[in-house]
C-alpha cells in the first residue's frame, strides 16, 4: 500500500506539471475520475464500512481496484473527466461485485454475457446510472462553487 501511495503521489505531481495551467475536468462542473473514486468508495454506502472516513484518494482507488472496480491511475492523476458511461461501468461492476456474480477479466470485473455495454446492463437491471451521474455532477458543482467562493472571500 505504501508503494502504491508513493507512486500515486509521484504521478500526481508529474500530471500537475504536465498540465501547466491548462483547464482540466477538475476546473469544470464535471466530476473527475478522482472525484468518482472517492464518492463511490466513501459516500455511496457500498464500501464505507471498509474504508474509514479519513481514507485518502489513493486508498479509495486501491480498494476499488483490488475488488475489480477499475479506476485507471493515469485517469485519476490527470484529472480525466468521469463520463456517464464510466458511471454505468462502475455502478455495473459494483452491482456484480455485491451480488456475488462478478467475473474478473484481468484485474477488472467484466460485463456479463448478453450485454453490449455497461449502460445497457444498468438499464436492464434497473440501475439508474444517469440519475446517479446527475447527482454526482450536482454535488461536485456545489462543492467547487463553495470552494471558489471561499477562495474569493479570503483574497
Domain boundaries, the chain: 2-13+26-154
CB 84 within 8 A of CB 129: yes
Q: 34: how many CB neighbours lie within 10 A of its CB?
A: 23
Q: Which of 57, 13, 16 is nearest to 34 (CA)?
A: 57
Look at 87 and 26; give whichever has higher pLDDT. Answer: 87
**Residue 112, pLDDT score:** 95
Q: For the residues 68-73, what does the mean pLDDT come to?
A: 95
Per the prediction, the chain carries an average pLDDT of 82
**Sign (positive or negative) of CA dihedral 81, 136, 88, 107:** positive
Query: How much of the chain, in percent, has pLDDT values that exceed 70?
Result: 75
The mean-pLDDT minimum among 62-66, 78-82, 112-116, 150-154 falls in: 150-154
pLDDT category of residue 143 using cuts at 50, 70 and 90 = confident
**Residue 29, pLDDT score:** 75
**Sign (positive or negative) of CA dihedral 87, 11, 16, 54:** positive
For the whole model, what pTM was predicted?
0.77
Amino acid at each position: 500500500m505504501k508503494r502504491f501511495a508513493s507512486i500515486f503521489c509521484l504521478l500526481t505531481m508529474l500530471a500537475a506539471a504536465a498540465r501547466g495551467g491548462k483547464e482540466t475536468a477538475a476546473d469544470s462542473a464535471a466530476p473527475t475520475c478522482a472525484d468518482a473514486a472517492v464518492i463511490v468508495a466513501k459516500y455511496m454506502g457500498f464500501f464505507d464500512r471498509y474504508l474509514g472516513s479519513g481514507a485518502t484518494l489513493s486508498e479509495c482507488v486501491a480498494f476499488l481496484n483490488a475488488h475489480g472496480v477499475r479506476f485507471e491511475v493515469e485517469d485519476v492523476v490527470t484529472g480525466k473527466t468521469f463520463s456517464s458511461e464510466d458511471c454505468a461501468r462502475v455502478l455495473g461492476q459494483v452491482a456484480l461485485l455485491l451480488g456475488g456474480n462478478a467475473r474478473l477479466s484481468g484485474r477488472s470485473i467484466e460485463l456479463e454475457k448478453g450485454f453490449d455495454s455497461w449502460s445497457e446492463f444498468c438499464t436492464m437491471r434497473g440501475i439508474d446510472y444517469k440519475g446517479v451521474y446527475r447527482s454526482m455532477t450536482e454535488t461536485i458543482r456545489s462543492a467547487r462553487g463553495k470552494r471558489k467562493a471561499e477562495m474569493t472571500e479570503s483574497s
